[in-house]
Structure 1
Amino acid sequence: MGGPGCGKGTQCKNMATKYGFCHVGLGQLLRQRLKGARSGAGRSVTSCCRSSWCPQWTGPQCHQFDCSTETMVRRVLHWGQVEHWADDSELAICQRLDTHYTLCEPVLTFYQQKTLLQNILAEEAPETIFAKHCCH
């Protein structure tokens, strides 16, 4: 888990490469669905993206990629420029972060109380984070 730009997608791609998994990011799927979306389903997806609501599945242990709001905003703005994502303005990112914190707080509290929450400090370069946490 983690806010947009915390590095969870990057680390998933790194694990997929290392272990031969297939990685498909939810954001990538939603953006593909939105291209030229004129159907009712496309409008629903657009509405969910704009309201920043996105369901998250969590397994028996929860890994939280933890970094500052400033870092996440900077990273998402960068990727938005690289990938030409129109939905990644600074205001939209901040709204997504607010929603993320509101929706995820109860989940994080649950896992923390059960001592199943692992915080991964995600301020460093992706390669450094991967080397520290995925060395097997």
Structure 2
Amino acid sequence: FAAEKLQSPIIVFMIGGPGCGKAVQSSRMAVKYNFYHIAIGELLREESSRATNKGKAIRDILLKGTLVPSVRSLTLLTDNMLKAENVSGFIIEGFPREINQAKLFEEVVTKMSFSRILTLVTAETMIQRLLIRGQMGGRVDDHERIIRQRLETHYSLCEPVLTHYLQKSILRNVAEQVGCTLKSYLEKIHLNQ
């Protein structure tokens, strides 16, 4: 891994359940602060659509509803990070989703100074957003029973990740008025880089 190319002062992980606003807030902040925005879910879906052995393997995993192995996710992520040029930092959306991904990222990308982990909004807010999206013709899995299952899975996998970063004193929870709170927080870290 060419860590010397990735001497970015800031890496922000946007961690949150389905419907919490990760994509919207990540996109906005990437534009405002010249951060390179990477959505791990999009990378995996894109790779799974390719007619390659790797694409087929990822597609099979996604169809089972299980997590793609950490090494594969991290390889896609770091390859994508290496494409970035002239950026102030990285906003990585939807990663890490479980503790092995977090630890592997730290091992592989040791020379990078990642120091900001953000989580977004409450479970009830996510449920309401997804139910509204479902009523407006959203995804087929935007029904309350399925939403609650997805949130339960998210929390059971992410809790050890959040605890890990809380112990390192780099976790910031951004709950209500996400846009304003996140903007204020990122302006502070952007000025202090």
TM-score, length basis structure 2: 0.52
Other-structure match for 2:152:
98
CA, structure 1 residues 28+88, in 2 after alignment: closer, same or farther (shift >3 Å)?
farther
The answer as to 2:113 corresponding to 1:73 is no
Q: 1:7 aligns with which of 21, 27, 34?
A: 21
Which one has the bigger strand percentage? Answer: 2
Moved more, 82-91 or 98-107: 82-91
- Equivalenced residue count is 128
**What SS class does the counterpart of residue 119 from structure 2 fall into?**
strand
Residues in 1 aligned to 2:45 and 2:37: alpha-carbon distance in whole angstroms: 16
Q: Structure 1 residues 31 and 77 mapped into 2: Cα distance closer, same or farther (>3 Å)? A: farther
Instruction: Say whether 1:123 aligns with 2:137.
Output: no
Q: Is the Cα contact below 8 Å between 1:62 and 1:118 reproduced in 2?
A: yes
Find the partner of 1:46 among 63, 71, 88: 63
Per-residue deviation, 1:72: 0.9
Distance 1:100 1:13 in 2: 22
| 3-state SS, counterpart of residue 173 of structure 2 | strand
Distance 1:116 1:131, change over 3 A: closer
CA distance in 1, matches of 2:31, 2:135: 24
Instruction: Give 3-state SS (helix, strand or coil) of 2:142's partner.
Output: coil
Structure 1 residues 44 and 92, CA gap change in structure 2 (3 angstroms): same
TM-score normalised by length of structure 1: 0.69
Structure 2 unaligned runs (5+)? 1-14, 50-55, 71-94, 97-101, 107-113
Distance 2:38 2:140 in 1: 20
1:10-21 to 2 correspondences below 5 Å: 10-21=24-35
Larger CA Rg, structure 1 vs 2? 2
RMSD: 3.1
1:57-94 Cα offsets, whole Å, 9 max, x none, are: 34643523243211011122334455631122211211
